[in-house]
Amino acid sequence: RLPAPPRFEVRDADLHGLASRASGGLDLVRHLLRDYPGRLILILAVAGIFGFATAPAFFLSAMYLQTGLGYASWQTTLLLVPGGFAGLGLSILTGRLSDRIGRRRTIAMTGMIGFLAFGAFYGGTHGAVAALAWVLGAYAYFSTDALISGFATEIMPTAYRATVSGLRYVAEIGLGAVSLGLEGVLYDRLGGHGPAMLVLLAALPLALVALPFLPEPAGRTLEEISEPATESSPA
């Protein structure tokens, strides 16, 4: 019963017909590559590299707490549950911050927090320092993932948003799965989960390099952001 937003009525009527055809998804991707090739490739690179660098660090952290840091099962739960809620709560505030200072700057900030926090967590810290590092890493993971998800759709016209959201999800989850498989190979070669995680985390700054070349959506209207002419400019 929720009404569609007025901007769903896009100017290019041809795009309305694409979604109703069986081949509509592929046609929309072709239109995307024609109208916004650089923007699409860069945002998928950001999402994919983020998933590759952080998926093992986040999803295998409970295992590492027990096998690498000697936590009991109940101790792991005591850290992950309240620490995870704290990370989620902080991520909501970070979303508000991105409205003020911009999406790109906020993603770069949370991405670097995750890089440093997970680096410390898997880099040999113990006790309270390791616990704090995990909480900060979880916060950075939740925040960066949510910001990239919203950012990927904000920089595209309404007609493309669902398609870009799906492509972003495939890129992030797909490369995250590759990374999880690669972590086992690195574990065998390097002799531990900590060194393996650090090697994978080293890819994270590469995701942030692409951000300045994407448009900043915060504080701008959809019409400003979605003009193809802005593709050549990071402004």
pLDDT in tens, 42-66: 999 999 999 999 999 999 999 999 9
C-alpha distance across the termini of the chain, in Å: 38
Q: Which of 103-112, 167-176, 210-219 has the lowest mean pLDDT?
A: 210-219
pLDDT reported for residue 74: 93
pLDDT value at residue 230: 44
Q: What is the pLDDT of residue 5?
A: 63
- Cα 75 from Cα 79, distance rounded (Å): 6
Q: pLDDT above 90 covers what percent of the chain?
A: 63
Question: How far from 45 is each of 68, 139, 202, 225, 232, CA to CA, in Å?
Answer: 31, 22, 15, 19, 17
Q: Is 168 exposed, middle or buried (0-12, 13-18, 19+ CB in 10 A)?
A: buried
In this prediction, residues 146-168 reach a mean pLDDT of 89
Does residue 184 register a pLDDT over 70? yes
User: What sign does the CA torsion over 216, 221, 223, 229 have?
Assistant: negative
Average pLDDT, rounded, for the chain: 86
156: left (phi over 0), alpha (psi -120 to 50) or beta: beta
Binned at pLDDT 50, 70 and 90, residue 69 comes out as very high
Task: Please check the confidence at residue 143 and state whether its pLDDT lies above 80.
Answer: yes
pLDDT for 233: 41
Give the model confidence (pLDDT) of 88-123 as tens digits.
Answer: 888 889 988 998 999 999 999 999 999 999 999 999
Residue holding tokens 């009991």? 72
- Of the candidate ranges 15-19, 23-27, 163-167, 182-186, the one whose mean pLDDT is the lowest: 15-19
- As to burial, measured by CB atoms within 10 angstroms (0-12 exposed, 13-18 middle, 19+ buried), residue 35 is middle
Q: What's the one-letter identity of residue 45?
A: A
Q: Which pTM does this prediction carry?
A: 0.84
Residue 7 has a pLDDT of: 60
Nearest Cα residue to 165 out of 155, 175, 178, 180: 155
